[in-house]
A = this chain, B = another copy of it.
Amino acid sequence: MSDYETSAAYRVRQVAKRASYDRETVHAILDAGYVAHVAFMDQAGPVSLPLFYVRDGESVLFHGARKSRFMRALGGGGPLCFTVTHMDGLVLARSAFHHSMNYRSVMVHGVAETVADAEKPFALDLFTARARLGRPQETRPANAQELKATAVLRLPLVEVAAKVRTGGPLDDPEDMDLPVWAGVVPMQLTFGEPVRDIAVVPAD
């Protein structure tokens, strides 16, 4: 697959050697995540909002209540920044300065399109499948009222940058013999045993 042809304004500048524009790398990072932090301007200033998302080919989808503030801010085509970050480890160095983190992140800049009503059921199926971790989709689909209450936005993967840090600490040569524990404490998002809902309809 070809690299993203990200504009200069949206390329990584800080520690650019950790940047990647490789499509497979970007897809893998997005596909490993559930929540993005979406930045946009509101009347009250900048906002960084956590949102469940799903990748659909060369775009990401996120949704919310049609009347919510963020849908009003973004449904009209306001600029946004969509960021997904996986924390992979705390990097402990021999010097305070070289402490770091291992991570995989993707940042997408752009303007989202509102998914048309006719396509909304298919888009919502993608969210359900993602939330159900591939369990067969046997759920009751959204009815007309629920569909109407929900807005889905689609952000194309065009202005895209990944940034990844891996490996151990990068201490200065003169610090290598200091008697300090140095290394990586791995971090990972893990799933526990599913807990079945035992709620029942209250008797009359």
Contact = CB atoms under 8 A, between A and B. Distances in A.
A200 B169 CA distance: 11
Interface string A71-87: 00000000111110101
- How many chain copies? 2
A109 to B, nearest CB: 6
Contacts of A92: 131-132, 135, 194
A138 B179 CA distance: 8
Contact of A83 (B10, B48, B186): B48
Contacts of A10: 44
Contact of A97 (B87, B146, B191): B146
Interface in A188-203: 188-197, 199-201
Nearest to A169: B197
A69 B14 contact: yes
A4 to B, nearest CB: 16
